[in-house]
Amino acid sequence: MKFIKATKNDIPLIQNLARRSWENAYAEILSGEQMEYMLSEMYSETEINSHLQNPDYQYYLIQDENNNSYEGFIGYELNYEENTTKLHRIYLVPESKGKGFGKGALQFLNEKASENGNRRIILNVNKYNAARNFYESQGYSVYDEGVFDIGGGFVMDDYLMEFLIHM
């Protein structure tokens, strides 16, 4: 597994990976209308490019070195809060799940957060997303929950999770 820092040229690839993973992960959780709204808002070229302009916001493509394929991506923001990194996005295409890419990506994130002096990683996960179980298996725990208005008449109903980095 290899992590490749994404650039503006990778935006179409990120958009494609997001769509492929979302269609699988959220098919039974979100309406088609909400999924399209969120993909068009959160993964527009303008939105991703603005993240890439922020030196604390990092995107990395997750590559399977054995067959030179892209399996997903991770997007996180260092120093989101004091000593805290926020995992904004981690998505894998359906055929790569269960192969260790998610665990590897979280280990990679732990290293990047630690290197930058961050002691905590936070994330939001949809209350009905099975990914919560994966995060808990990796040492994350729920510390709160919230309903967030994302516009377009839609909300995100999430658990807020955290991982404390032991130095």
| pLDDT tens digits for range 8-49 | 999 999 999 999 999 988 988 999 999 999 999 999 999 999
pLDDT tens, residue by residue, 99-149: 999 999 999 999 999 999 999 999 999 999 999 999 999 999 999 999 999
For residue 129 the two structure tokens come to: 């997303």
What is the C-alpha to C-alpha distance for residues 74 and 81, in angstroms, rounded to an integer?
19
| pTM reported for the whole predicted model | 0.94
Is the separation of the CB atoms in 38 and 23 below 8 Å? no
What is the C-alpha to C-alpha distance for residues 167 and 16, in angstroms, rounded to an integer?
36
Closest CA to 49 of 92, 7, 87, 91: 7
Q: Which domains does the chain have, with CATH numbers?
A: 2-123 (3.40.630.30)
Residue 10: how many other CB atoms lie within 10 Å: 19
For residue 132 the two structure tokens come to: 């919560």
For residue 116 the two structure tokens come to: 């930058």
**Residues pairing with 159 in the sheet:** 125, 145
What is the C-alpha to C-alpha distance for residues 20 and 53, in angstroms, rounded to an integer?
25
pLDDT at residue number 42 = 94
What is the C-alpha to C-alpha distance for residues 24 and 129, in angstroms, rounded to an integer?
11
**Residues pairing with 157 in the sheet:** 147
For residue 154 the two structure tokens come to: 């839609």
Residue 96: how many other CB atoms lie within 10 Å: 20
